[in-house]
Chains A and B, each alone.
Chain A
Amino acid sequence: MTQFFPRLALLAALALAGCTAQTPDPANTDSPEAAAKTLTIYSARHYDTDQVLYDAYEAQSGVAIEVREAGADQLLETLRAEGSNSPADLVIASDAGALWRFQQAGLTQGVETDRLNALVPDRYRSADGHWFGLSRRVRLVAYDPERFSAEDLQSWAKLASPDKAGEICVRSSSNIYNLSLMAEMIERLGPDTAEAWARGIVANMARNPQGGDTDQIRAVAAGQCGLAIVNHYYWARLADSASADDQSVAARTALLVPDFGDGMGAHVNLTGAAITATADDVDAAADFIVFLLSPEGQRLLTMETKELPLLDGPLQTAGLERLPAFTASDIPPDILGENQAAAQRLFDRAGWN
């Protein structure tokens, strides 16, 4: 027994070292001269078309692209842990609030470039150039046209009125889409009105918050509720689905984009990109953002997600034909991040699970 434990430990250590050494590491397989420049992207998106997008840019620019995909929070902690050693040049996240958090944590840098400012209107980028919108997502109502007409649903406030009792399907409050909607509502209507609204929605719920946005739309089509609060692209994916069941779900529901009242516009959230504080070649990173904003980049960004391109224009994406026209709200998108924690607290108090 004298020798047993040390031997065993050594054996284990050797075996592990052997395995680790033999493991091919895809990150190191590129020879250094094959790619002169590498752009490292931390992305909170995962779409098969994103790979097409990266490949297209690699072919066009000669820059090699390396991607880490994970949730925005996880990417943020990774960046924080890596500190000044981080290889990341760009962060892509699907929510203005998430991008704001990267900025707050000091992980992004403000970029003053005329070319980006010319492409991205003020209301779709952070005030000091820390991040830029790439594409848009609208939170709206999918409803059963046999139960409601568009006039019943014109504003968010109308959803909280007692005549909608037992009619609303919506997902959990911790979901970022609901948090961002509430963050804007707090800004627009003040915290008290916003909380009263949340209580009204809770009182009108047809069932406990559950599932994703798609599940809410399906529940409307199945007749369990009369209306659902969802992001537009989930509906569009059903409309453009290969499955006949999905298409009939879309066919049985109608869409309406509510506003905050008095011409304050509709709640629009953004997918955006930020250049990290550790990016050593800011111009190369900005080049990639410019590519994402080009017609080709916009097409590839929105083709599979069914988000809306950053700027109004002819839609090239199938499934969006029945999306009603809307006027986007013009609050600075930083608000969505600033009010996010307050929004969760408010939801918790209102009993919105």
Chain B
Amino acid sequence: MRQPPPLVLDRTIALQITLAGVIALPVLAAIWFGVTAGGGSAWSHIVTNRLLPYTTITLGVLCLTGLLVCLIAIPLAWLVSLYDFPLRGVMEWALVLPLAMPGYVLAYAWADLAGVAGPLQSGLRDLTGWSARDYWFPDIFSLAGLAFILGLTLYPYVYITARAAFTTQSLATLEAGRCLGESGLRLFWRVGLPAARPAILAGLSLALMEAAADFGAADYLGIQTLGVGIVRAWSSFGEPATAARLALILIMIAFAFLLVSKLSAGAAGSQHTSYRWTTPSRKLLSTPSGLGVLGACLLCLTLAFGLPVMRLIWLSLANDVSPAQLWSPLSSSLILAALGTGLAFACALVLVLASHYSRTTAWPMRLASAAGYAAPGVVLGLGGLFLLRASGQALTGGLALGLLVWIYATRFTAAGTEPLMAALSRAPASLDQAARSLGVTGSRRFWRVDLPLLAPGALAGSLILFVEILKELPATLMLRPFGWDTLAVRAHAYASDERLASATLPALLITVSGLIPVIILSRQIARTGRRNK
């Protein structure tokens, strides 16, 4: 944007700064609380005895999770985009389904499946006649087990972005690669992967921020991550301020991800030269390879979705659980998710447009949304309570509802921005320049140029937001008004008291409610793939 009228710039900057403030305020409140009220005896104890293990374990979980996410998502996205194999059309969207499964629910299910008393190990013992002490079995209650769970729930983030990048690569780029004799693996390494790197990193940084903020799965599996340490500082030592302090470290880690992803995206600097981005024609795989690829897709879906869901269904049947009173939490979940999506989406849209129109001034909002996304829900809940205290009100009615929706926006705006950003960046710079030389500016530019470009990203962004908020637990647990139990709150109440059988129905219902938007989302992704063909 060359030489914008100064008045306009001032207004947009003012709006951005205000929104950045709104997004960041709960985080800042929690940090302020941590810095001013913290430093009790628990703080020095944790710094001396626990901080190093918490941090190394967290980094270990993040590295392993990131590796697993890339190993699952990138090859599958590549194969689905460039090759034809049996059931490819179904797999293309089915691979997004695990997005509907909350990490903590997957942890419940896998802990039950793979635990020493679960069906896998019992079956092994029955088969071999061994006792439980006679053999080695992969331990789900371990750092690797946690990474396994998080990898299975979070890989769709990278799958979605990588697949979008592979299918919408400029026709010229890939065809040029093919003409030069590159094929198969070499085409992937030398052409496909470098061009898709910014998209992959964007998805990966979302997945890793989500993993860093996880509490439910790590706590259930007994892995001492920072997320668990934060809650322990609060529950065992009664020092919520110390918890808020510890959250700062997580926020720093998130900033580091953002920086790395930003830097390497900048370095790649790939700019589409042609508007005719389209999926190169898919190559038909030979029958054995085709079945092998199908097998890999099915294995991934079975581990991340089929097997755990079937186990939960079986548990609820074997224990004769009655579906009592699930209607009210279901409607609470849906209403809260809709409200939260509305606000978070509006914030994300402003953020994306701001950075589209003026790259230099968007950073306060990007930092604010990244900080919110990386802060665990518990810490944001504390920030919310701190703001409540400042307002001198009780946590009831519309105020509690508004506060909770605000926290949702803080927590999830970042998750809504990526699809929007991706949609806008698909347009070649020439389109923008053309618009400007035709004198299309301001709101006309928005309606005529940017909105049509944004539309598919907007649908994807809002669906992701809806599903994420549906799964959100800690902030909802702390801030919901009277009578607003969500499905996640119910599932947690049962599971935390070890009544897994009773938790299965609300947990399954979260997954089912999340499935509908996820299916719409994945069908849309598949459709864009076909349209571009």
Contact = CB atoms under 8 A, between A and B. Distances in A.
Given A210-B141, A218-B115, A219-B117, A20 B357 contact: no
A211 B477 CA distance: 22
Nearest to B134: A223
Interface stretch (A3-11, A107-115, A154-162, A309-317): A3-11
A211 B401 contact: no
A174 B143 CA distance: 18
Contact of A345 (B45, B125, B405, B501): B45
Interface stretch (A66-74, A122-130, A195-203, A269-277): A66-74
A306 B261 CA distance: 52
B235 interface: yes
Nearest to A245: B318
B117 A221 contact: yes
Interface stretch (B60-68, B163-171, B389-397): B389-397
B236 interface: yes
Nearest to A224: B132
Interface string B417-443: 000000000000000000000000111
Contacts of A193: none
Q: Which of A4, A78, A221, A353 has the most CB of B within 10 A?
A: A4
B446 A15 contact: no
Contacts of B499: 237
Contact of A211 (B115, B357, B395): B115
A58 B275 CA distance: 68
B15 A6 contact: yes
B509 interface: no
Contacts of B224: 353
B215 to A, nearest CB: 12
A78 B399 CA distance: 14
Contact of A341 (B237, B443, B482, B497): B237
B346 A12 contact: yes
Contact of A19 (B121, B339, B396): B339
Contacts of B238: 73, 101, 104, 340-341
A201 B203 CA distance: 44
Contacts of B405: 16, 20
Contacts of B5: 2
B455 to A, nearest CB: 16
Given A20-B339, A46-B497, A74-B477, A1 B117 contact: no
Interface string A236-251: 0100011101100100
A74 B122 contact: no
Contacts of B349: 8
Contacts, number: 201
B482 A73 contact: no
Contacts of A11: 346
Given A66-B482, A85-B393, A222-B116, A243 B339 contact: no
Interface stretch (A23-31, A257-265, A286-294, A323-331): A23-31
Q: Which of B338, B342, B395 has the most CB of A within 10 A?
A: B395
B385 A85 contact: no
Contacts of A215: 111, 115, 117, 498
Interface in B99-141: 111, 115-117, 121-122, 125, 131-133, 139, 141
B393 A82 contact: yes
Contacts of A249: 117
Interface of A: 1-9, 11-12, 15-16, 19-20, 23, 25-28, 46, 48, 66-71, 73-74, 77-78, 80-83, 85-87, 101, 104, 171-172, 174, 176, 179, 207-215, 218-219, 221-224, 234, 237, 241-243, 245-246, 249, 340-341, 344-345, 348-349, 353
Which 6 residue pairs of A and B lie closest in terms of their CB atoms, listed nearest first? A1-B442, A218-B117, A12-B346, A26-B483, A210-B141, A46-B493
Interface of B: 4-5, 7-8, 11-12, 15, 41-42, 45, 49-50, 111, 115-117, 121-122, 125, 131-133, 139, 141-142, 220-222, 224, 228, 232, 234-238, 240, 318-320, 324-325, 335, 338-339, 342-343, 346, 349-350, 353, 357, 381-382, 385-386, 388-389, 392-398, 401-402, 405, 441-443, 445-446, 477-478, 481-485, 489, 493-494, 496-499, 501
